Every structure is written in C-alpha cells, then in structure tokens.
Structure 1
Amino acid sequence: MSDQFKFTRTFRKLVENTTINSDTLLSTDYLNHFNELVMMLDLIPDMPEMLDETKEWKPKTYAEHFQDSSFTHKDLAIAAYDHVLDADRKALEMTVARMDQTVEETFAALDAAVATGDADRTRTICNTSSQALQGMIDRCSGIINGVEGAAATAFAAMDESVPVLDVTKPAETEDEEEKIVMDQSAIDALFD
C-alpha cells in the first residue's frame, strides 16, 4: 500500500462529519468566493455605481480562499487539497482559471459600457457573464461533490478556441448548462 493512498485514506476519515466531501476531499465553501461575485454582477445593471466595488473582487486559489475565510475546517480543507485526485484538482483548477479569465474580460467590457453610459450593453454583459460564471460554478460543484463524469465534462468544456466571454450573444440558458453538468442519474447518485 503506497504512502499516498494511506494519506488519502486518512484524510477521508478526518473529513467525515464536515462539509468537506469525503470522496473528493474538496469543499463547496470555495465556491462562495465566486457566488459573491455573481450576486454583485447581477446588481450592476440597476446600480452601475456598484462596478467599482465589484472590481475589488480578486481571484483566489483554493488555499488562499480558506486562509482568508472563517470556515470551521479551513486548515483541514487546505491540508486535504494535497491529496485530491489529480484529475479532480486539474479539472477544478482549469475551470477556476477560466472563471478568472471571464471575470477579467467582464471587467474590461463593463468599464467601456459604463463609461459610455450604455445601459443595454451593461445589462447584456452582466447577464451573459453571470450566466457563464454560474455554469462554471455548477461544473465546479459537480467536481467537488464527486459527480461521476464531472471532471471529464470540465476538461471537454475547456476548448481554448472558444472565447471565454462573448457579449455579443446571450449565454446558454440554465437548462442547457445544467444538462452539460449533470444528467438525472448523476443527480440521483448524490442521494444514494
């Protein structure tokens, strides 16, 4: 039995009865960092003055989020991250990198739209970005919760030839995005 397997098995025992997933060793608390941003983006069309406050949001790695949080098991979450399966860690990190890039592009587009007072463009940018980010948050949630195939779906979704944020068209609807993230059997598996 390898040392890595022993450590992983030990961490799976340590995270029992916490909100850290005992299969993946990941916590959805990390997603709060992105959910906060989505909520702020949703406010900007009606409150453009929120843009400056929203732009104070900065990307954080998994460990940085927990270092700065009041999460009860933050030290355990940070330590367990070293024992997450490579495929899950890479899928999560790739999706987070895509979210961070989307945020950067969103802020640049919003600066231009708000500066010209284009309320319709501001609303389109915020709605498109918010929906795109929510889809990626859902994808991360699938990875964190160990939904079968979630990591593979995340890898498949990272086609670099597609622009991260295309504000010329609305994002996919939630129903279409949800089909990509989880099918009914994957949802049922969460409750088994």
Structure 2
Amino acid sequence: MHPVLGAGELAADRLEQANINAQTGLATDYLNHFNEVMMLLEMLPAMPDCAEDVLEWEPLDYVGHFENSTFKDKNLAIQAYHAAPAKLRNHLEIQVKEINALVGRIQEQLRQAPDAATVAVEIAEVATHEIKPLISIAGAVIHGHVEPEATQHEGDGAQAEIDALFA
C-alpha cells in the first residue's frame, strides 16, 4: 500500500514541521536548485567570471535534488513527492523541463561566446524575463495554485481533481 498524504508518516503536522506543503506533498526547497543558477545568471553582467559556475550547473529532478541535498527531512520529502497528486507532479515537471531547457540553451550560448561579457546582459534578461517566471509558477504549483488552463491538456476533470484537494 502506498503512503497517503495526511496519514501516518505523511501526517499534515509532520509535513508542515518539515517545511513540506501538507496539501500538495511538495517542498519549496526544490526551488533552491533553480534559484542558485538564477542568481548566477543575474550576476553575470557584473561578474562575468560566474559563467564557469553557470556552465557547471546541472539539471536535477525533484527526487535527485533531495537525494543529494542536506535537507534534514529529505527522505520524507521524497516519500511525500511520490504521494503527491499526479497532476501537480506532472505540472511541476513541465515547469522544470522548461527551466532546464532554457538554462541549457544559455549554457550553450556561453560555450559558443568569445567571452561571457559579450552575452552576459542578454543572458541576464532571459533569466529575469523567462526563467524567473517559470520558477514562480513552479512555486505556485508546490503551494497548490494551478491555473485551470495549465491542466486542461491533461484531460477533462484535471482541474476539478486539483480543486477538490483544496476544497
């Protein structure tokens, strides 16, 4: 039998103590992975030597992030993730895939540029106007806020299912 949010090890008070959203089973700590690279990208115009750190950044899925983190309750976070509603997990993964693709394109742009300073402003703009909003959407998903049109392609009733979680 699979663990259920709100029961046993995944009881709401236990999740809240671990800084995991008790209704969604998702933790904002995952966003730290993206906030790190976001900070580097925005600093690039003033500090082009940050390019090396940007190039070293690698995508990590939710479980991989927690497996490699120092997060105190990382096993609980992984367990709660697997118990989280599939529609929310899928929507989060869509945002993550877009973030990873944008960072990957930026990394390729940095590799091809004669030096980081020549592309730094353009990269910072992409980070601010494209990546940062995706991180915000991912944060909203973690907190259970999903726009109806975001789930309509996943089948009829998807938003109703999500709405029922928070009713």
TM-score relative to the length of structure 1: 0.70
The aligned counterpart of 2:45 is 45
Structure 2: distance between partners of 1:131 and 1:35: 14
Structure 2: distance between partners of 1:87 and 1:109: 33
Change (3 A) 1:48 1:7: same
Structure 2: distance between partners of 1:33 and 1:68: 11
Residues 143 and 151 in structure 1, CA contact (< 8 A), matched pair in contact too: no
| 4+ residue segments displaced more than 6 Å | none
The aligned counterpart of 1:135 is 133
The aligned counterpart of 1:9 is 6
The aligned counterpart of 1:35 is 35
TM-fit CA distance, 1:110:
2.6
Q: Residue deviations 1:49-106, cap 9 Å, x none?
A: 2211211110001011111111111110011111110110000001101110011111
TM-score relative to the length of structure 2: 0.80
Change (3 A) 1:153 1:38: farther
Aligned pair partner of 1:126 in 124, 127, 149: 124
Equivalent runs, 1:15-164 vs 2, <5 Å: 15-113=15-113, 115=114, 119=118, 121-147=119-145, 150=146, 152=148, 154-155=150-151
Give the counterpart letter for 1:27 in structure 2: A
Structure 2: distance between partners of 1:111 and 1:83: 40
Give the counterpart letter for 1:97 in structure 2: K
Residues 45 and 117 in structure 2, CA contact (< 8 A), matched pair in contact too: no
Consecutive unaligned residues of structure 2, counting only runs of 5 or more, are 153-167
Change (3 A) 1:53 1:25: same
TM-fit CA distance, 1:125:
2.2
Q: Residue deviations 1:142-186, cap 9 Å, x none?
A: 000112xx2645458xxxxxxxxxxxxxxxxxxxxxxxxxxxxxx
How big is the alpha-carbon RMSD for the aligned residues of Structure 1 and Structure 2?
2.3
Question: What is the count of residue pairs matched by the alignment?
Answer: 150
The aligned counterpart of 1:167 is none
Between Structure 1 and Structure 2, the one with more helix by share is: 2
Change (3 A) 1:123 1:67: same
Structure with the greater relative contact order (CA < 8 A, sep ≥ 6): 1 or 2? 2
Give the counterpart letter for 2:52 in structure 1: D
What percentage of aligned pairs have identical amino acids? 30
Change (3 A) 1:40 1:9: same
